[in-house]
Amino acid sequence: MSETAPPVTMDTIVSLCRRRGFVFPSSEIYGGLGSTYDYGHYGVLTKNNIRSLWFRAMVQERDDIVALDSAIILNPRVWEASGHVAGFTDPLVDCRTCKLRFRADQLELARCGRKPSKRPGETPDCDLTEPRQFNLMFETQVGALQDESSTAFLRPETAQGIFINFKNVAQLARRKPPFGIAQVGKSFRNEITPGNFLFRVREFEQMEMEFFVPPADATQWFDYWLDQRLGWHRSLGLREINLRVREHDEGERSHYSSATSDIEYLYPIGWQELEGVANRGDYDLTQHTQHSGTKLEWIDPDGNRYTPHVIEPAVSIERIFVALLCDAYHEEIVGDRERVVLRLHPQVAPVKAAILPLVPRDDGMATRARTLYEELRRHHVVEHDDSGQIGRRYRRQDEIGTPWAFTVDDQTLEDETVTVRDRDSLAQERLPIGGVREWLDDALQRDCS
């Protein structure tokens, strides 16, 4: 087996996602809608796996974090208090010549709309407006009346839904700082320059956790969460050489942050933020206390009051999804044939195993394969495939990252054993058909620890 290709490009990943039904451009029959995507079957399964692995690490396996699912449309005063109405902006310039819009702080990365395309401002023909601040929140109207009082926003982050519920959760969850509240859900940002596939989209699924701590312990918890989150990304199989931590300097930090570090991944477009870990201090609880008149503070058993500080790890499923596919993608020569293989971690892989009758028209093989499939699918996402040559079926499963294939063949009819083929090593071994379920349970358990 030998590798054939240079490092993967974003176009290669886009094309695999389309070819194998992970992700499609949205509204395609109407010409699409820039940078919005729909997920097909394997995309949905992969996203579900990422979400549940995050939830398991952040909530299920801990005593100190509880879950929340807050509304997407909140009282608009939430966004005044949080600073998003005034400050959640990017500087924007328009070009009167090519009619495109650019982020003023990223002109060196942008290309204008003319042919040959140039960097905006590069030629005398470019006619750029002065930068103006553009708010990234999507506005909507609540109720039948369309006036200023009905204006609301689609949330640009899930975090604020957590802060405004601090009192409810602290009272009812029987937790004291340090404790966390975790939430997964859609966030929306009217990005000026979305792009690079799912990396920067206008609608994405965030996984955020706000960890409330005594103020004196904030730095220690910041270091702890940075370390934990880096370890989690490694545990999904992202390679060490493609991960790094970058600390924000003061000018780069968000309005609420007193320290932020990005966990960066080496995407095909270069090192970029995968997940952010921020020390938000007491900014949010203080702002909501002032704006709502409800005290969001902690009172300890001795009656001492304080506003907890907040450490926040925040990431989107989309950024993890792209990183995982880029990391897992390999082209290699096996024998004299080329194969594309997604070496996804078994916990992330959309399908855990394929069940393949070697000769589908043979009744004995077909029946045994179908029976095995029906047993396994009660416990795991597995696929039964009886169309086409066996080599083609293996290749199909390799491309969607299925870790194992169980093949029912002639020998099965004699001794009730099947072969199991390993996606990565291509090694094959035989095992009793009655032991496949346990073998698969063990293999998945082994790869989970």
CA distance 363 to 345: 34
Which residue's CB is nearer to ligand GAP, number 49 or number 82? 82
Examine residue 233 and tell whether it contacts ligand GAP (CB under 6 A). no
Which residue's CB is nearer to ligand GAP, number 234 or number 380? 234
* CB 282 to ligand GAP: min, Å: 16
203-232 binders of ligand GAP (CB under 6 A): 204, 206, 208
Which residue's CB is nearer to ligand GAP, number 74 or number 443? 74
DSSP 180-211: EEEEEEEEE---SS-BTTTTB-SEEEEEEEEE
Examine residue 190 and tell whether it contacts ligand GAP (CB under 6 A). no
* CB 416 to ligand GAP: min, Å: 49
Q: 274 by DSSP, 3-state: which?
A: strand
**Cα distances (angstroms) measured from residue 157 to each of 53, 229, 314:** 21, 19, 9
Give the residue at shortest CB distance from ligand GAP: 316
Start-to-end Cα distance in the chain: 28
Examine residue 279 and tell whether it contacts ligand GAP (CB under 6 A). no
Token pair recorded at residue 247: 């600390």
Pairing status of strand 329-334 against strand 337-342 = antiparallel
* CB 205 to ligand GAP: min, Å: 8
- Stretch of 72-80, 89-97, 173-181, 200-208 lying at the interface with ligand GAP (CB under 6 A): 200-208
Which residue's CB is nearer to ligand GAP, number 282 or number 318? 318
**How far is residue 215 CA from its own chain's centroid?**
30
* CB 156 to ligand GAP: min, Å: 7
302-341 binders of ligand GAP (CB under 6 A): 312, 314-316, 318-319
Examine residue 275 and tell whether it contacts ligand GAP (CB under 6 A). yes
* CB 233 to ligand GAP: min, Å: 11
**Cα distances (angstroms) measured from residue 238 to each of 13, 188, 223, 322, 332:** 16, 27, 21, 11, 19
Examine residue 191 and tell whether it contacts ligand GAP (CB under 6 A). yes
Q: Is residue 1 within 8 Å of residue 21, measured between CB atoms?
A: no
DSSP 48-114: HHHHHHHHIIIIIT-SSEEE----SB--THHHHHHTHHHH-EEEEEEBTTT--EEEGGGGGG---SS
* CB 128 to ligand GAP: min, Å: 24
CA distance 318 to 233: 14
* CB 173 to ligand GAP: min, Å: 21
Q: Is residue 382 within 8 Å of residue 353, measured between CB atoms?
A: yes
Pairing status of strand 179-188 against strand 203-213 = antiparallel
133-162 binders of ligand GAP (CB under 6 A): 157, 159
Give the number of residues in contact with ligand GAP, rule: CB under 6 A: 18
CA distance 58 to 225: 11
- Stretch of 38-46, 202-210, 228-236, 419-427 lying at the interface with ligand GAP (CB under 6 A): 202-210
Examine residue 181 and tell whether it contacts ligand GAP (CB under 6 A). no
Q: Which residues bind ligand GAP (CB under 6 A)?
A: 157, 159, 189, 191, 200-201, 204, 206, 208, 273, 275-276, 312, 314-316, 318-319
